[in-house]
């Protein structure tokens, strides 16, 4: 789908869709709002008052067919984005409980798929993870170059290789590193919607506009049916923030229950700089 086709479908001008590198100031992390900490993200994620969308605006497309709107966002991303830098903030429910909020600076490139994450707040067992598809392969397993934290980092100053789907990596994150990124997030959301569409308990709806880190976003809410006693797949309730200018999911918040009291994961991508021309040299150890 071309950019002009996307604009025609959305009914908005080309200028509002062009990705720019001129970003608003970054969010301030660490402050907590009142209420259960596991059900609420940082203060910069606290939504502004809900605004009703006028009927003649792009929100009409999001409201009438939200799944089609998400597909349009994916096509727009594929047509316009090659790489980006961002600050990634996450908090997840892991096997040993709800993690502390972590922040890292990320370099990302689509082709070849490359991710460089460097922690600057609450690192776990690693302070840096560098992954590039098919760059390090051992016995058919995709490997990442990892700089351990703490004493292990002193013992292995050149880093170690880790299977991206192995227990050492999955214990630190709900998703493997090869699932990171705006496109992968949209792919996962769309695939789950297509899988459960038409089932009792499934619902995807546009709920309005909110500000996320002072940037206006379209907000969607998705519910999935239970697939087993006491469980659900992959989360019971998901709230997705799509940046109105960039048309990418800058915030996703997953919960195990409809009341949104049990947080499974919160993910925020901020301070985004698109298409900076990242090269192989930017992904060296």
Whether residue 100 lies inside any domain: the answer is yes
9 within a domain of the structure (yes/no):
yes
User: CB of 222 within 8 A of CB of 193?
Assistant: yes
Structure tokens at 190: 């769309």
Nearest to 212 by CA among 46, 19, 25: 46
223, part of any domain: yes
- 37 in any annotated domain: no
Q: Which domain holds residue 131?
A: 3-13+42-283
Tell me if 19 is assigned to some domain. Answer: no
**pLDDT tens string 127-181:** 999 999 999 999 999 999 999 987 776 777 789 999 999 998 988 898 999 999 9
DSSP 71-132: HHHHHHHHHH-SEEEEEEEEEEEETTEEPPPEEEEEEEETTTTEEEEEEEES--SEEEEEEE
> Regarding predicted confidence, which is higher, 23 or 126?
126
- Extract the tokens encoding 172: 């630190």
**Residue 203 confidence class, pLDDT cut points 50, 70, 90:** very high
234 pLDDT tier (thresholds 50, 70, 90) = low
User: Is pLDDT at 250 greater than 70 in this prediction?
Assistant: yes
Greater pLDDT, 33 or 79? 79
- pLDDT of 63 > 70? The answer is yes
Considering the chain, what is the average pLDDT of its residues? 81
pLDDT > 80? residue 194: yes
Residues in the chain: 285
Residue 140 in any domain: the answer is: yes
Percent of the chain with pLDDT strictly greater than 90: 59
Distance CA 244, CA 217 (A): 5
User: Within a domain: residue 22?
Assistant: no
Q: What is the pLDDT of residue 233?
A: 52
Residue 72: is its pLDDT beyond 90?
A: yes
Is residue 156 one of the residues assigned to a domain? yes
Q: For the chain, how many structural domains are there in total?
A: 1
Residue 3 C-beta-side C-alpha neighbours within 13 Å = 13
Q: What is the CATH number of the domain that holds 211?
A: 2.50.20.10
| 69, burial (CB in 10 Å: exposed 0-12, middle 13-18, buried 19+) | buried
Choose among 201, 192, 184, 204: nearest CA to 248. 184
Distances (CA, A) of 16 to 12, 130, 141, 166, 269: 7, 33, 42, 42, 20
Q: In which band, very low, low, confident or very high, does the pLDDT at 75 lie, cut at 50, 70 and 90?
A: very high
pLDDT surpasses 60 at 22: no
Q: Is the pLDDT of residue 192 over 80?
A: yes
Confidence of residue 57 (pLDDT cuts 50, 70, 90): low
106: burial class by Cβ within 10 Å (0-12, 13-18, 19+)? buried
pLDDT tier at 35, thresholds 50, 70, 90: very low
pLDDT at 3: 45
pLDDT in tens, 204-222: 999 999 999 999 999 999 9
């Amino acid at each position: 789908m071309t950019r002009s086709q996307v604009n025609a479908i959305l009914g908005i001008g080309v200028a509002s869709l062009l990705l720019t590198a001129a970003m608003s100031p970054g969010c301030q992390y660490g402050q907590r709002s009142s209420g259960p900490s596991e059900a609420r993200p940082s203060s910069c994620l606290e939504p502004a008052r809900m605004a009703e969308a006028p009927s003649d605006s792009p929100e009409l497309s999001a409201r009438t067919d939200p799944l089609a709107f998400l597909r349009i966002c994916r096509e727009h991303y594929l047509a316009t984005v090659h790489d980006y830098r961002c600050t990634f903030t996450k908090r997840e429910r892991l096997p040993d409980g709800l993690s502390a909020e972590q922040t890292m600076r990320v370099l990302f490139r689509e082709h070849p798929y490359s991710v460089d994450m460097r922690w600057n707040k609450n690192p776990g067992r690693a302070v840096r993870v560098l992954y590039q598809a098919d760059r390090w392969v051992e016995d058919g397993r995709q490997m990442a170059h990892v700089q351990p934290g703490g004493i292990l980092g002193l013992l292995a100053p050149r880093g170690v290789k880790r299977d991206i789907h192995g227990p050492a990596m999955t214990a630190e994150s709900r998703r493997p590193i090869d699932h990171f990124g705006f496109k992968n997030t949209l792919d996962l959301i769309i695939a789950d919607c297509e899988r459960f569409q038409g089932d009792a308990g499934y619902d995807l709806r546009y709920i309005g506009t909110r500000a996320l880190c002072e940037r206006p976003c379209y907000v969607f809410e998705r519910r999935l049916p239970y697939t087993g006693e006491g469980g659900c797949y992959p989360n019971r309730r998901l709230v997705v923030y799509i940046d109105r200018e960039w048309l990418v999911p800058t915030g996703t918040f997953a919960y195990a229950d409809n009341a949104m009291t049990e947080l499974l994961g919160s993910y925020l991508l901020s301070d985004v700089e698109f298409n900076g021309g990242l090269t192989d040299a930017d992904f060296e150890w």
